[in-house]
C-alpha cells in the first residue's frame, strides 16, 4: 500500500512554455503532499507543502507565481512550472503523507519527474 505516482516521468519543453506535473496517491487519501526538487547527487529541497483545498505553503526563496501548486482533491496535487527556463531543469519529486500514519507521518515518494528545458 501507500503508492504515489507521478506523471510524466520525463518531459522536455522549450524555454518560455509551461509544464504541469501530476502527483497522485493511488491507494490512500493524502492529508498533505510535498513537492521537492533534487539536483544531481544532491539532497531533496522542499519547495512547498500542500493540503487539499487550501493554498500551498511555499518555502523561502521559492517563487509561488512560477511554481503553481494545486491540490484539488485528497489524491491529486499538481505542480505547474510556468514560463520555464533552462535553470528550472531538475528532478521534481512529490511525496504524500496521511493521517493514518500518525504519529510518524512518514512520507511516501513518487518516482519523480525529470524536467529538461531547452
- Interaction of residue 46 with another protein, rule CB under 8 A: yes
| Cβ-based nearer residue to another protein, 44 or 68 | 44
3-state secondary structure string across 36-66: EEECCCCCEEEEEEEECCCCCEECCCCCCCC
| Cβ-based nearer residue to another protein, 82 or 89 | 89
Q: Whole-number minimum distance, CB 73 to another protein, in Å?
A: 18
Binding residues with another protein: total (CB under 8 A): 23
Q: Which of 66, 70, 74, 112 binds another protein (CB under 8 A)?
A: 112
Most distant CA atoms of the chain, gap in Å: 43
Taking CB under 8 A as the criterion, which residues in 79-98 touch another protein? 93, 95, 97
Phi-psi region of 40 (alpha: psi -120 to 50; beta: other; left: phi over 0): beta
From the DSSP assignment, how many helices (H) and strands (E) are in the chain? 0, 11
* Footprint of another protein (CB under 8 A): 32, 34, 41-46, 49, 60, 93, 95, 97, 103-112
Amino acid at each position: 500500500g501507500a503508492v504515489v505516482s507521478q506523471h510524466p516521468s520525463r518531459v522536455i519543453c522549450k524555454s518560455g512554455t509551461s509544464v504541469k506535473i501530476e502527483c497522485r496517491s493511488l491507494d490512500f487519501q493524502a492529508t498533505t503532499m510535498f513537492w521537492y526538487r533534487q539536483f544531481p547527487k544532491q539532497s531533496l529541497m522542499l519547495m512547498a507543502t500542500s493540503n487539499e483545498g487550501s493554498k500551498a505553503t511555499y518555502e523561502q526563496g521559492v517563487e509561488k507565481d512560477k511554481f503553481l501548486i494545486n491540490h484539488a482533491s485528497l489524491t491529486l496535487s499538481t505542480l505547474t512550472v510556468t514560463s520555464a527556463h533552462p535553470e528550472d531543469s531538475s528532478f521534481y519529486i512529490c511525496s504524500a503523507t496521511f493521517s493514518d500514519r500518525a504519529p510518524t507521518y512518514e512520507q511516501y515518494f513518487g518516482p519523480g519527474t525529470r524536467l529538461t528545458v531547452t
